Amino acid sequence: MAVNTTSASHTPRAATRQAGAPPQLRAIRVHQQRIIKTVILTVTSLFLGIPPLSMLIFTLRHPLSGRWSLDPWKAIFTADGSALGADLSTLWSGLGISLGLCMATVVIMLLLLVPVMVIAHIRSKRLERIIEWVATLPLTIPAIVLVVGLGPIYRWLSTDVLSSNPIWLCFAYAILVMPYAFRALTVGLNSIDVLTLCETARSLGASWARVFFRVLLPNLWQSMLSASFISISVVLGEYTVASLLGRMNLQVALYQLGQSNSQISTAMSLLALLFGVLLLVSIDLISGAMRRSKENNQPCL
């Protein structure tokens, strides 16, 4: 039977041998690792960067004439697309609706998920697992299948209960953002000893409302912020549900605008993408700032 050299190289003895290798050999290995890292970083950057870069070029260079100009961007920032023969009112309307949807979805998501997850976390691990399973479902069900179920409900909602105002898409979106928001909130709940904090506050005389607002929320705000930002990103990029249910939002408006002026549409898509990226980066920056702040305040007595 052949000796398995691969597994042998992972043993502590092999690692010690590597550490004790001659300096030239070590330098070669470090160099090789640097090359591998650079290749991976380059490929990933190209994979992620080429589409937005192509979009940017597309907005600056007319597809037919090949003329370079900033007109699509000017149209967006001056809110006047007449020079390019585009009516931007649909775009502003879609943007307004999407921003409204972001707010409504975040509010519903927080009101629904935070108390339920806190209660499940305190009361029952089993219930927590069930909620996790339910919250993950929207990831496994394709949006088009979801719409098949949501269609009749929205028909009933728009005729008998509410109206056909696209803002009511917030209920569907609250379901769509659930898997992402659930994960973000779970991280927050697991980072503190929720049960002990609750019991301590209760034993000191706090009502459940005070425990929730005075003790738990201040310790969960970071994860709630993460959940909100991720939800906003999802809502701003959502097209399928709104389109299939015949409602207007930013992505539907962009699609419609794309029929008349694809450059403005693409520029706006790029801005929406940039906004989403900024939100996600800001989560990272806030977390990093908090971590550094805590580390700076640790004289370790």
Contact residues toward other proteins (CB under 8 A) are 192-193, 196-197, 199-207, 210, 214-215, 218-219, 294, 297-299, 301
Least separation in angstroms between residue 220's CB and other proteins is: 10
Nearer to other proteins, 60 or 197 (CB): 197
Which of 217, 139, 226 has the alpha carbon at shortest distance from 178? 139
The count of other CB atoms within 10 Å of the CB of residue 81 is: 22
Buried b vs exposed e over 211-237: b needs ≥16 C-beta within 10 Å? bbeebbeeebebbbbbbbbbbbbbbbb
> From the CB of 208, what's the least distance to other proteins, in Å?
8
| Residue with Cβ nearer other proteins (197 or 280) | 197
Min. distance of Cβ 120 from other proteins in angstroms? Answer: 15
CB under 8 Å to 247, separation ≥6 — which residues? 164, 166, 169
Least distance from other proteins to the Cβ atom of residue 210, Å: 7
Amino acid making up residue 280: L
**Choice between 16 and 298, CB closer to other proteins:** 298
d(CA 108, CA 228): 10
| Torsion angle, alpha carbons of 27, 28, 31, 36, to 10 | -140
The Cα 36–Cα 26 span in angstroms is 15
Nearest by Cα to 111 from 232, 224, 277: 224
**Shortest distance (Å) from residue 171 CB to other proteins:** 33
Nearer to other proteins, 82 or 207 (CB): 207
CB of 192 to other proteins, least distance (A): 7
CB of 236 to other proteins, least distance (A): 31
Helix axes 262-296, 71-78, angle to 10 degrees: 70
Cβ-based nearer residue to other proteins, 152 or 205: 205
Nearer to other proteins, 145 or 195 (CB): 195
Q: Which is nearer to other proteins, 99 or 122 (CB)?
A: 122
C-alpha–C-alpha distance, residues 260 and 199, integer Å: 61
For every residue of 150-212, DSSP letters joined together read: HHHHHHHIIIIIS-S-GGGHHHHHHHHTHHHHHHHHHHHHHTS-HHHHHHHHHHTT--HHHII
